[in-house]
Structure 1
Amino acid sequence: MAYRQAEQAAMARALDLARTPGVPTGPNPRVGCVILAPDGRVVAEGFHRGAGTPHAEVDALDRAGDLARGGTAVVTLEPCNHSGRTGPCAVALVDAGVARVVYAQSDHNPVAVGGAETLKRSGVDVEGGLMADEARTVNPVWTFAVEHGRPYVTWKFATTLDGRSAAADGTSRWVSSRPARLDTHRLRGLCDAILVGTETVLVDDPQLTVRDEHDENLPRERQLLRAVMGLRDVPADRRVRDDAADTVVLHTRDPHEALAELFARDRQHVFLEGGPTLAAAFLAADLVDEVVAYVAPMLLGAGRSAVGDLGIGTISQARHLDVTDVHVLGEGAETNVRITMVPQRRASA
């Protein structure tokens, strides 16, 4: 009983380690690990600090040294079973002489799956599922992506009260206020890909980078992948072709194909910032998982709609969303209301 309590306490600590501030939220999951001696004492802790760095188990094993032999590794995610930038954690645990492994969340990533079986075949006692629900909250986007086989999609747009993203002459400068634009860059920084259509690139020529409060680009290593989808070519003089960040052109109009290619590139969170036509395509395909709307307290009466035709002919067909957060940004002429929502899935979805 006492040792079980030690394992539970170690898992709670491992979850705290996984949530360490400053650790990237992608593309790798955040993971924490605690090594217990046979008598239940904590002998080492570790956590993953981002792609290319040691995984949590290896970090903890390096700190534990010989004290790991015969002990228990308590880890928030099933140890991986593949070699990438680092070796398989399951093998590292076996080589370190760990007698027991307790993990919270199973790893459904097809690249890394199988760690538990490798451990069992090597004679290690393995238990999964301890505080699994808590572990899922540490990496909600990563969990969604590996379980659904596609990235999580956040659709962001700015609109007036009457649903216009731009005036009749195409101007849109004050629909999105400066506080809203700064907040947009914060949200971009939480994702690992930004997606627009070729129409947006050809007409608006956006740079699609993450910038700071001085409107300066963050370092390239902190930029997300710029993705442009559509059948038209993207000219070399467009700003998405500069060297501020990587860019990929997806030669398709199919949202499913676009997300599949981005997922194959190890992208788990897509920030959808395209125009009304692209937004409508993703909504129609039930491929929008979160909506962030910046609403300006103004009326235009005419102009470009925030979203294209959804094929809705009557109110009973309306697409409904659940509001999860409302926040006022700025004041006066610089006011926007940020509304975060989750679409209600259709019965056929």
Structure 2
Amino acid sequence: MGALTVDELVGRDEWEAVNQEHGRPFVVYKFAATLDGRIAAEDGTSQWITSAESRAEVHLLRAGCHATVVGSGTQQTDNPNLAVRGNDDPRLDLSIVSNPERQPWRVVIDSDAATPADANVCNDAAPTLIVVADDSDASHLEGVVDVLRVKRADRGLDLDAALQGLYARDIKAIFLEGGPTLAGSFIAQGLVDRVVNYVAPALLGSGKSGLDGAGIHSMSEILRLELVDVSRSGPDVRLVARPVR
């Protein structure tokens, strides 16, 4: 884990201030990329950019938050499970979860309720919440997972309303894992409180970038980050930063 504990990496000492000031969960945005900033190759493949050490560490960080959040694109492309695994990594101590008997929530931001009922995220490995538009047909998910309905926005869903819905479920911090469009929406609306970036010593040259549609169009709009920590994770580098606001 380098010099920082899990609590320090996910900024636990900053949660309460964000919770109280904004009435929403603290948002930790994590992504893994190559040195040239690619999170997937041109053909869409992305497994695995970073090392086994980094992937195992991500489970620690998931367990350190109350929910892991992805977008519908990530769900459809990768069909991830998103549950915290511990039996294959001796470093993973689930006692860091506030209630060791309960996995962190798995949350999919899915405007049109496109997540199928047999998706991996809908299994019984952890509780799941699908956030859908209030006018979408989510009947196939009834009785399978929890569903939260929020209004649509100009782009996707009303993220403020979604976060308030999570906070009402006592979710104090979320681990945002993508994809780039959802992350871009969070960045554009000033909803990211911490960034954890794993950088692999590799190059792809083309392919998907880590962020899309973040509302930044010129150098005058650039979002500067303050580095909190830089450490090794196996052969990779892990950077932890917070937005300068």
What TM-score results when the alignment is normalised by the length of structure 2? Answer: 0.78
For the 8 Å contact 1:182–1:213, the answer to whether it is kept is no
One-letter amino acid matched to 1:302: S
* Residues 241 and 288 (structure 1), Cα distance of their counterparts in 2 relative to 1, 3 Å cut: same
Instruction: State the alpha-carbon separation in 2 of the partners of residues 140 and 274 from structure 1.
Output: 22
The answer for the alignment partner of 2:240 in structure 1 is: 340
The answer for the alignment partner of 2:131 in structure 1 is: 250
Two-structure CA RMSD over aligned residues (Å) = 2.2
The answer for the alignment partner of 2:154 in structure 1 is: none
For the 8 Å contact 1:220–1:244, the answer to whether it is kept is no
Write out aligned runs for 1:178-257 (5 A): 178-212=52-86, 214=88, 221-233=101-113, 234-252=115-133, 253-257=157-161
2:185 is the counterpart of 1:281 = yes
Q: Relative CO higher for 1 or 2, CA cutoff 8 Å, sep ≥ 6?
A: 2
Q: Offset at 1:232?
A: 2.3
- Larger helix proportion, structure 1 or 2? 1
For the 8 Å contact 2:188–2:213, the answer to whether it is kept is no
| 1:175-196, Cα deviation, whole Å (9 max, x unpaired) | 1211111111111111001111
2:204 is the counterpart of 1:300 = yes
How many percent of aligned residue pairs carry the same amino acid?
Answer: 46
Higher-Rg member (1/2): 1
* Residues 324 and 138 (structure 1), Cα distance of their counterparts in 2 relative to 1, 3 Å cut: closer
Instruction: State the alpha-carbon separation in 1 of the partners of residues 112 and 228 from structure 2.
Output: 37
For the 8 Å contact 2:184–2:215, the answer to whether it is kept is no
Query: Aligned to 1:145, which of 10, 19, 41?
Result: 19
Unaligned runs of 5+ in 1: 1-24, 26-136
Instruction: State the alpha-carbon separation in 1 of the partners of residues 231 and 13 from structure 2.
Output: 24
Q: Offset at 1:142?
A: 3.2
Instruction: State the alpha-carbon separation in 1 of the partners of residues 218 and 20 from structure 2.
Output: 36
The answer for the alignment partner of 2:35 in structure 1 is: 161
One-letter amino acid matched to 2:61: L
2:51 is the counterpart of 1:177 = yes
One-letter amino acid matched to 1:232: D
The answer for the alignment partner of 2:219 in structure 1 is: 315
Unaligned runs of 5+ in 2: 1-6, 134-156
Number of residue pairs aligned between Structure 1 and Structure 2: 206
The answer for the alignment partner of 1:261 in structure 2 is: 165
Q: Stretches of 4+ moved more than 3 A in 1?
A: 137-140, 215-220
**Secondary structure class of the residue paired with 1:273:** strand
| 1:75-99, Cα deviation, whole Å (9 max, x unpaired) | xxxxxxxxxxxxxxxxxxxxxxxxx
* Residues 329 and 209 (structure 1), Cα distance of their counterparts in 2 relative to 1, 3 Å cut: same
Q: Offset at 1:316?
A: 2.4
